[in-house]
Structure formats: structure tokens, C-alpha cells
């Protein structure tokens, strides 16, 4: 679901995706725009970015360590399970030299990187007013 030649501006997931398709780790037999990209447009440009937003904005900041750890485990787990199902029952993605544990690990890393980037952004004062202690108008 997440590899191939990615265009600019796709964010953190695109960095690792540029390396997997050329090395024959994954294939996308069916793509929305086969002349434009070797990846899944739906996943790269909509599903994964939206999921990263949900992960970051709904993160259980004021909860205990177990809730936070569970959050980090839940998101890559359900997305990996979804990819396994898609690979098994459709022609949308095919693993060549790739396995589910690499998917899970890369998702975990990119979710963490997304969260760290968000926290850095908010600390610099460019985040949403609610994050800086103000109110939105």
C-alpha cells in the first residue's frame, strides 16, 4: 500500500516509499493513475495523511502511559491488518520481498515522526490557538 515513486509534498510516508518500489519490495498491479505514479494514490494522498491527522489530533495527551502506548500500537496494527486483507483479497498491492512486520514498523516510525513534527510545530508558536493556550475566534 505504501511504496513507489512519490511526488513532492506527500510528507513522511513518501520518504520511505521512494525506496521500496524500485527495489522490488512491493508492487501495485492496479493503480488509480498508472501513468502518473507507481503507488496507490488513494492511500498516499488521502487515507494515510488523514489517519496521521487523526492519530495526532486525538492523541491521549492527558492519559497515562498505557493509553499512550496503546495508541501507538493500535494505529499501525489496524492499518497493517487492513493491508494484509487488501493484499490477500484484491490486486491492489502485492508483496514481493516485504512482510507485514516491515509495514507495521514503518507505520509506527512515521506515526511517531508525524507526532514529533506536530509537537515541534506547536512549540514554535505556529500551531492552533487552542494548543497555545488561547481561544479560537
Contact 100, 86 (CB under 8 A): no
Of residues 120 and 134, which shows the higher confidence score?
Answer: 120
Q: How far is the C-alpha of 53 from the C-alpha of 59, rounded, in Å?
A: 10
- Indicate the average pLDDT of the chain: 73
Span 78-122, pLDDT tens digits: 988 988 887 888 777 777 777 788 889 989 999 999 999 999 888
pLDDT at 1: 41
The rounded distance, in Å, linking the Cα atoms of 112 and 117 is 9
pLDDT of residue 130: 57
pLDDT at residue 101 in the model: 84
Q: What Å distances lie between residue 50 and 14, 39, 71, CA to CA?
A: 14, 17, 16
Categorize the per-residue pLDDT at 66 as very low, low, confident or very high, splitting at 50, 70 and 90: very high
* CB distance 10 to 46 below 8 Å: no
Class of residue 48 by CB neighbours under 10 A (exposed 0-12, middle 13-18, buried 19+): buried
Instruction: Provide the pLDDT confidence category of residue 3 given band limits of 50, 70 and 90.
Output: very low
pTM higher than the cut 0.95: no
What does the buried/exposed string (b/e) look like for 108-129 if buried means 16 or more CB atoms within 10 Å of the residue's CB? bebbeebbeebeeeeeeeeeee
**CB distance 110 to 52 below 8 Å:** yes
Amino acid at each position: 500500500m505504501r511504496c513507489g515513486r512519490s511526488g513532492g509534498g506527500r510528507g513522511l510516508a513518501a520518504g520511505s516509499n521512494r525506496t521500496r518500489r524500485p527495489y522490488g519490495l512491493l508492487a501495485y498491479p492496479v493503480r488509480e493513475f498508472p501513468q502518473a505514479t507507481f503507488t496507490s494514490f488513494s492511500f498516499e494522498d488521502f487515507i494515510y495523511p488523514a489517519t496521521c491527522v487523526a492519530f495526532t489530533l486525538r492523541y491521549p495527551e492527558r492519559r497515562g502511559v498505557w493509553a499512550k502506548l496503546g495508541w501507538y500500537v493500535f494505529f499501525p496494527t489496524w492499518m497493517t491488518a487492513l493491508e494484509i486483507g487488501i493484499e490477500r483479497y484484491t490486486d491492489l498491492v502485492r508483496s514481493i520481498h516485504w512482510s507485514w512486520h516491515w509495514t507495521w514498523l514503518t507505520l509506527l516510525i512515521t506515526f511517531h515522526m508525524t507526532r514529533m513534527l506536530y509537537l515541534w510545530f506547536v512549540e514554535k508558536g505556529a500551531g492552533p490557538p487552542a494548543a497555545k493556550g488561547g481561544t479560537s475566534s
